[in-house]
Amino acid sequence: MHPTGKSPPVENALNGSKELTFEDVKNELYNRHHPSLTSLDIEVHAKTIHKIRTLKKKHDVVMLGHNYMEPLVFGLSEKEEQGDSLGLSMFAAKTEAPYLIFNGVPFMAETAKILSPDKTVLVADKTAGCSLADNFGAEDVRKLKELYPGAPVMIYVNSYADAKAESDICCTSANAAHIAKTMPGDTIIFVPDIFFAQNLEEELKGEKNVVYPGKDNTARGAVCEVHERFTLSDLLAIRESFEIPKGHSKRKLYAHWECRPNVLKEADFYGSTSQIMKDIAARVADDQLERAFVASECELTSNLAQEFPKVEFWTACSVRCSHMAKVRLDKIANILEAIDSGEDLNEYEVTLDPEVINKARLPIERMLEASV
């Protein structure tokens, strides 16, 4: 409850032309985050959030927010600025704003830079990595192409621009199965995520032969260090203790594509972060969901719990991506203050060699064309 004892109606001042006051921001935070965040949490962060939102508006900054952002950071982005890797790439491709702050990890911001090379693309922490992108590079793609000459290389978006530049088509977890089916020939090379490749292999059984690092070869691949942590026995224990039996009509277990194959098989639904959110939204709209567990990064569940308060989510899970967690309110405020004072933006700006941009754009544009 707001300290005044009442919850004042909130107009989203950010969308209107009126000046955004500190009280507006505080009221909005109470309405949106209380009681999952305490009054103290809100009081402590309201000043920084007011500064961010005021400067965001003043400088016409687009602020993209990945679904894994903690709720206070996620809430800085307008609904249409929030999403999964595919949705955010699509938004980046069409935005006109001069500054784009990407609240996510740098490989995601690189995609935005490739699609909008004239824009200033900024991230809160350039050192934030990703166990998939960090452990696989352009040289690894070239080696696989030598091993399977002629087979098209499909590269998961969780990779850096130089590796994408060596590949034929990009994909995200929202469109991988669809894109694989559109590829010529009966064999595709999928990189770098080994679990994802195995899941895709299962999904495309009888349609496509999927080759990947470590399958009949000694090539180097990678796995997501976050999704790797969910095991089949964890899921079975959650089904039992949280009472989500298989086949229950209103209790569901969700998993992200990056999970281990036996975890994906156990799930009632699997997809990208936004596909999981959409399935939950559709079930809630039909009054068909009372309880859920999501085998993915835990802030996705925090955001879902906030959006769908009537669903009981297992929020005790603390599987957090340490890279995504580097994106914090204070760092975002620093970027906006640097824009406002005309300071050098080097510390935050994502830059790429123009030649790499040109080569990496093709696989990303092919993906966008092939996406449904």
Give least dist CB 287 to ligand 13P, A. Answer: 26
Is there binding between residue 76 and ligand SF4 (CB under 6 A)?
no
- Chain center to CA of 357: 22
Nearer to ligand 13P, 122 or 367 (CB): 367
Is there binding between residue 81 and ligand 13P (CB under 6 A)?
no
Site string for ligand SF4, 240-279 (x = CB under 6 A): ------------------x---------------------
- Which of ligand SF4, ligand 13P, none lies near 273, with the C-beta cut-off 5 to 8 A by kind? ligand 13P
- Which of ligand 13P, ligand SF4, none lies near 272, with the C-beta cut-off 5 to 8 A by kind? ligand 13P
* Site size for ligand SF4 (CB under 6 A): 13
Nearest-angstrom CA–CA distance, 250 and 359: 47
From the list 6, 51, 9, 1, the residue with the least C-alpha distance to 28 is 9
Near ligand 13P by CB under 6 A: residue from 272, 301, 302, 303: 272
Give least dist CB 291 to ligand 13P, A. Answer: 22
- Which of ligand 13P, ligand SF4, none lies near 167, with the C-beta cut-off 5 to 8 A by kind? none
Give least dist CB 5 to ligand SF4, A. Answer: 41
Near ligand SF4 by CB under 6 A: residue from 225, 266, 279, 299: 225
Give least dist CB 283 to ligand SF4, A. Answer: 24
Is there binding between residue 172 and ligand 13P (CB under 6 A)?
yes
- Which of ligand SF4, ligand 13P, none lies near 172, with the C-beta cut-off 5 to 8 A by kind? ligand 13P
Q: Which of residues 219-258 bind ligand 13P (CB under 6 A)?
A: 224, 256, 258
Nearest-angstrom CA–CA distance, 51 and 6: 25
Strands 153-156 and 187-191: parallel
Site string for ligand SF4, 148-177 (x = CB under 6 A): ----------x-------------------
Nearest-angstrom CA–CA distance, 1 and 353: 51
Task: Classify residue 163 as exposed, middle or buried by CB count within 10 Å of its CB (0-12, 13-18, 19+).
Answer: buried
- Which of ligand SF4, ligand 13P, none lies near 173, with the C-beta cut-off 5 to 8 A by kind? ligand 13P
Give least dist CB 330 to ligand 13P, A. Answer: 23
Cβ proximity of 54 and 89 under 8 Å:
no
**Residue ranges in contact with ligand SF4 by CB under 6 A:** 105, 130-132, 158, 224-226, 258, 297, 321, 323-324
Interface positions with ligand 13P (CB under 6 A): 67, 84-85, 158, 172-173, 224, 256, 258, 272-273
